[in-house]
Every structure is written in structure tokens, then in C-alpha cells.
Amino acid sequence: MSKIILKTPQNLESMRQGGKILANVFDKVEISTRVGMNAFALDRLIFNEITALGAKPSFLGYRGYEHSSCISKNEEVVHGIPHESKVFYPGDIVSVDIGVFYQGFHVDAARTFMLEPVDSEVMTLVNVTRESFFKGIEFAIPGNRLGDISYAIQKHVEEAGFSIVRDLYSHGVGAQLHEEPLIPNYGKRGQGVTLKEGMTFAIEPMVNIGAFDILTLQDKWTIIAADRKWSAHYENTIFIGKDGPEILTLN
Ligand code: MF3
Ligand code: CO
């Protein structure tokens, strides 16, 4: 039996407002993600922006996590810790993952920023990762199946010659940061849960230049590509509306 929690119009309104806050935080983050900046300072800026807008950072305190964002560079896939020693250099890609809790609901989003001059294959990686999200959510329509989204993401990534990470998932989001369903970013059309109006998902493809295998560092958080080739991440929280998806975390 599925425990997917459908959101009411009132719930949706709260998530829309949280999403707007998160999109505004990302506008500041984009401006601040520059050569010479470091991840700790960026995380502090993120905390300050979220709290100034009357919201709370979803990640702070989550399973003992002590920061407001995950900041993952280059071969780091996700869940990178924002250490001061993580300095941004020319040619780096920096993925920033942020959750915002507002009026009882979480929204979750991530972007990968490029610090010029970025290698052309790496630039393609970042673009394909973002595009795969949009390819996937074209199928986020009531009556379609979860596998339709997964398949479209995987197809776009693999046609570009990259690998979709398999051991980490997109997920439902709402009163809890992680709700049902778990959404693989790869899969088969016509399989999985049938989509219904009112579902809210955090769709977050993680894409590796090399193989899809990942491993966790000794800090128990940072996940890297096992072959140390670079990786990108893109995520938005979406609402499944009557006629299709509404992206809640984009301005
Ligand atoms: N956005 C991440 C995810 O959906 C959550 C980061 S884990 C945290 O997996 F501990 F940093 F919050
Ligand atoms: Co997420």
C-alpha cells in the first residue's frame, strides 16, 4: 500500500511560498559562487538568507547534519560538507543543494555552477544534467507512471554518453524532507506508481561523466564518483497539477 501524501491547495500554497524563498536564495548563491569563495562562507550566507526570509534550513539537524547546504565540487556527487578548506578555483563545478522549511513544508533544490574556464565536456555534463530534469518532468502528468519520468531522465543522460547515478534517488517531499515514493532516476516506461494530482516530488538527477558507481568518504557524508571523474546535480521540487507539473523552486 502506498503512503504517498497528496497535498491540498492550502499545502500547495505553503510550498509555493517556500519554493519562492528557495529560488530567491539561489539567486544570491549564484552571485556568490565565485573564484576565491569557499563552501563554509557560502553555507553561512545560505543560512543567513533563509532565516532572513522567515524560513528554516531543512538540512540543519537532519540526521545530525550541522550545515544549511550540501556543497559538492567536481568528483563529489552530492552531500559534500561545506568546509572552509573547500575553496572555489577556476575550472571547478560547484553543486549546491538546499532545503527550505516554511509553514510546515519542505522544498528541496540543487544547482551546479561552473567557474570559468570549464572543460567543454564538463560544460556538456552540467547542461545535460539540467536538461534531463526537464525531459523527465514532461511526463509528470496525472495518469502517467513514475517510470515514465525515470526513463526519460536516463535516456537523455545516456544518449549524451554520461551515466545516471543509480544508488541515490529522487523522492517525494512535503511535511517530511523525504517522503514516498522513492524515484529512481533510471527505469522503464509504464512501470511504477501512477501519478496523481497533488503529489509533490523532488526530482534530482545526479550524472557522472564516467561510470555510475559511487562511494561514501570516511566523513560518512560526502559521496564521490568511484572513478573520480566529475559529476553534476540538478534538482527542483515539483507539484503534479491537473494538466502537468508546476516547478515550485524556480523564479
Ligand atoms: N537534498 C538531499 C537529499 O534529498 C538531502 C541532503 S541530506 C542532509 O538527499 F543531511 F544534508 F540534509
Ligand atoms: Co532531494
Does 216 fall in a domain? Answer: yes
Question: Any idea what the CATH number is for the domain that residue 238 is in?
Answer: 3.90.230.10
Q: What is the pLDDT of residues 115-151, one digit of tens each?
A: 999 999 999 999 999 999 999 999 999 999 999 999 9
**Residue 199 confidence (pLDDT) above 70:** yes
Does 88 fall in a domain? Answer: yes
Ligand 1 within 6 A of CB of 187: no
Query: Domain total for the chain?
Result: 1
**Cα–ligand 1 centroid distance for 27 (angstroms):** 20
**What is the arrangement of strands in the sheet containing 163-164, beginning at the earlier edge strand?**
163-164, 206-208, 231-233
Q: Structural domain of residue 206, as residue ranges?
A: 9-247
Does 196 fall in a domain? Answer: yes
Does 4 fall in a domain? Answer: no
**Residue 228 confidence (pLDDT) above 90:** yes
Probe ligand 1: pick from 46, 78, 235, max atoms within 8 Å of CB? 78
Does 226 fall in a domain? Answer: yes
Ligand 1 within 6 A of CB of 29: no
Give the per-residue pLDDT at 135. Answer: 98
**Cα–ligand 2 centroid distance for 30 (angstroms):** 19
- Is residue 23 very low, low, confident or very high in pLDDT (cuts 50, 70, 90)? very high
Q: What is the pLDDT of residues 159-177, one digit of tens each?
A: 999 999 999 999 999 999 9
Does 183 fall in a domain? Answer: yes
Does 1 fall in a domain? Answer: no
Q: Near ion ligand 2, which residues have CB within 5 Å?
A: 108, 202, 204
Does 3 fall in a domain? Answer: no
- Is residue 1 very low, low, confident or very high in pLDDT (cuts 50, 70, 90)? low
